[in-house]
Amino acid sequence: MKRLEALDAAWRVSTPAERLRALRKAAAATRDELLSGGPVRACQTVKLQAFPYPSLYAFSGGATSPAPFVVMTNRMQVVQFLENGALKTLLFNPSDVERDRAATYYVDLARTMGLAQKPLEKLLMPSHGTVPQHLERLGLRPEDVDYVAYDHLHVQDLRRWLGGGEPAYFPKAKLLVTKAEWESTRDLHPMNAVWYVPHGCDGVPDDRVQLLEGSVQLAPGVAIVSTPGHTLGNMSLVVVTPQGPFVVSENGVSTESYTPLQSRIPGVRAYAERMGYEVVLNGNTREGSLDQYSSMIVEKLLAGPAPADPAYVAFAPSSELTSSMMAPGLSPTFSFTPPDCGTLARRA
Ligand SMILES: [Zn+2]
């Protein structure tokens, strides 16, 4: 792994506006550095599970639709690269969609829905397959997985995959996680706890966890960069494909969150103009809003224009805003689909 020093240095600048200026320069230089290494060996994106999410948070209160929920769809990237000549497989955001429902947020939501829970779930939560189902379809075995990582640990339960008082589904996989995310998840502040699965990381053996400090290039065409804000130890995946780079996180819920002047979602453009904001935050957490804004600028510069329409950015939300009859006035204006590239292979 190679440190991406320019970004790390910019994050250490002490005042927020100066830090943002430093991050803009560092992100542009880092994009050039990542592009010069060429594309990743292989990457595929799959959909997992749709879920409802408060409209109030999705665009920080900027969208004017009275619908209480937007619909979002979880996605996972399967990335392969060479590390010292050996093939490595990374699953980015392999959400355990069955166990994630134990997050305090979902439990509270189910209680609010009451008798309407089952019919509403049918409408709001279509399933696109589990992690094991997708891996089998892609021809990969559990023992082929070397790394799992998440842009952040909201609503994640890692115990089935990595072993926490039970045999690990992935016998060899290590969790790549920032030190800040791991420490804050293992000892939750009350303002954070609602978004997490109680005890979702308990018992995961220490030798299954590889702590990251700062931003790193894992191999040519794939990097994990520090993008705090949505959570304290938030990070983003950067993948370079033959069509150009794309970036994954949940700092924004849609591609247009990064170019709100292009948004036709009622209210979003006017909100950004009124506030003088270049990006619109996914605003369910408040503790790191300044950093989150700066992180979104970093992501926007690393991603660059979307090939299909350069007015938008090649940003792929890890949970993407999805059109739904249950959320009128909250459909994405433009959807960036991360291009699949290369051919996934089993370990020899
Ligand atoms: Zn989150």
- The residue assigned the tokens 């709100």 is 260
pLDDT at 14 (0 to 100): 95
pLDDT tens per residue, range 278-309: 999 999 888 799 999 999 999 999 999 999 99
**Among 73, 218, 61, 96, residue whose Cα is nearest residue 166:** 96
Q: Is the pLDDT of residue 118 over 90?
A: no
Mean pLDDT, all residues of the chain: 95
Of 72-76, 91-95, 284-288, the least confident: 284-288
Q: What's the pTM? A: 0.96
75 C-alpha to center of ligand 1: Å?
Answer: 13
> Is residue 219 a contact partner of residue 40, using CB atoms and an 8 Å limit?
yes
282 C-alpha to center of ligand 1: Å?
Answer: 8
Q: Is the pLDDT of residue 115 over 90?
A: no
pLDDT at 214 (0 to 100): 94
Which tokens in the block code for residue 50?
């749709």
Distant-in-sequence, close-in-space partners of 182: CB < 8 Å, separation ≥ 6: 201, 209, 211, 233
- Cα 247 to Cα 313: distance, rounded to the nearest angstrom: 9
Q: Is the pLDDT of residue 72 over 90?
A: yes
pLDDT at 337 (0 to 100): 92
Q: Sorting pLDDT into bands at 50, 70 and 90, what band is 114?
A: confident
Which tokens in the block code for residue 116?
């309407």
Q: Is 57 exposed, middle or buried (0-12, 13-18, 19+ CB in 10 A)?
A: middle
192 C-alpha to center of ligand 1: Å?
Answer: 10
319 C-alpha to center of ligand 1: Å?
Answer: 9
pLDDT, average across residues 70-97: 96
189 C-alpha to center of ligand 1: Å?
Answer: 15
pLDDT, average across residues 134-149: 98
The residue ranking higher by pLDDT, 181 or 109, is 181
pLDDT, average across residues 148-163: 97
The three state secondary structure string of the chain is: CEECHHHHHHHCCCCHHHHHHHHHHHHHHHHHHHHHCCCCCEEEEEEEEEEEEEHHHHCCCCCCCCCCEEEEEEEEEEEEEEECCEEEEEEECCCCCCHHHHCHHHHHHHHHHHHHHHHHHHHHCCECCCHHHHHHHCCCCHHHCCEEECCCCCCCCCHHHHCCCCCCCCCCCEEEEEHHHHHHHHCCCHHHHCCCCCCCCCCCCHHHEEEECCCEEEECCEEEEECCCCCCCCEEEEEEECCEEEEEECCCCCHHHHCHHHCCCCCHHHHHHHHCCCCCCCCCCCCCHHHHHHHHHHHHHHHCEECCEEEEECEEECEEEECCCCCCCCCCCCCCCCCCECCCCCCC
Residues around ligand 1, an ion, CB closer than 5 A:
154
pLDDT at 4 (0 to 100): 98
pLDDT at 164 (0 to 100): 85
pLDDT tens per residue, range 159-213: 999 998 899 999 999 999 999 999 999 999 988 899 999 999 999 999 999 999 9
346 C-alpha to center of ligand 1: Å?
Answer: 32
> Is residue 309 a contact partner of residue 315, using CB atoms and an 8 Å limit?
no
pLDDT at 333 (0 to 100): 97
292 C-alpha to center of ligand 1: Å?
Answer: 12
Q: Which residues of 266-295 are buried (b: 16+ CB within 10 A; e: fewer)?
A: ebbbebbeeeeeebbbbbbbeebeebbbbb
pLDDT at 206 (0 to 100): 95
- Cα 112 to Cα 80: distance, rounded to the nearest angstrom: 42
- Cα 342 to Cα 232: distance, rounded to the nearest angstrom: 33
155 C-alpha to center of ligand 1: Å?
Answer: 7
Length of the chain: 348
Which tokens in the block code for residue 343?
């051919």
Q: Is the pLDDT of residue 111 over 90?
A: no
221 C-alpha to center of ligand 1: Å?
Answer: 26
pLDDT at 246 (0 to 100): 98
Alpha-carbon 218 to chain mean position: 17
86 C-alpha to center of ligand 1: Å?
Answer: 33
Residue type, 249: S
pLDDT at 187 (0 to 100): 93
pLDDT at 25 (0 to 100): 98
pLDDT tens per residue, range 28-68: 999 999 999 999 999 999 999 998 899 999 999 999 999 99
pLDDT at 90 (0 to 100): 98
pLDDT tens per residue, range 215-238: 999 999 999 999 999 999 999 999
Phi, psi of 293 (to 5 degrees): -60, -50
pLDDT at 122 (0 to 100): 75
